[in-house]
Amino acid sequence: MTAPQRRAQLADRVQRLEAAAFTLGADVSEVRAAVEQLPAAIRQEILEYTEPVFGEIMAGRATLATKQDLEAFEQRLVDLVENRMGALDAKVDQILAALPAGGTA
């Protein structure tokens, strides 16, 4: 290979490397820009998700449960379970009373 051919080959290789470096530099800058935008994108997603909920709360149409609300709810559940169990106990007593010889078949 002659000197002019080597120079041409080297020039071609340098040109290809420069093109690759330029492309890589553009890709890196795009990645860097995307990473820099990530916190803002996350913040925006959070706001879009929570803003309607907070709007409802502030408008008084939705409220967070207080301790008293939870205690009242618990008491309603206890009352419902006790009423249900009482009704079942009464039904079992009724069935046992209907059986001959004190509940044995």
Most confidently predicted of 17-21, 31-35, 38-42, 77-81: 77-81
Cβ contacts of 19-27, under 8 Å, gap ≥ 24: none
| Digit-coded pLDDT (tens) for 47-63 | 777 777 777 767 776 66
**pTM recorded for the entire structure:** 0.33
Closest CA to 103 of 90, 89, 88, 93: 93
Average pLDDT over residues 24-31: 67
H or E element in which residue 1 lies: none
The pLDDT of residue 104 is above 60: no
Which amino acid is present at 43? R
> At residue 3, does pLDDT exceed 80?
no
Does the pLDDT value for residue 102 go beyond 60? no
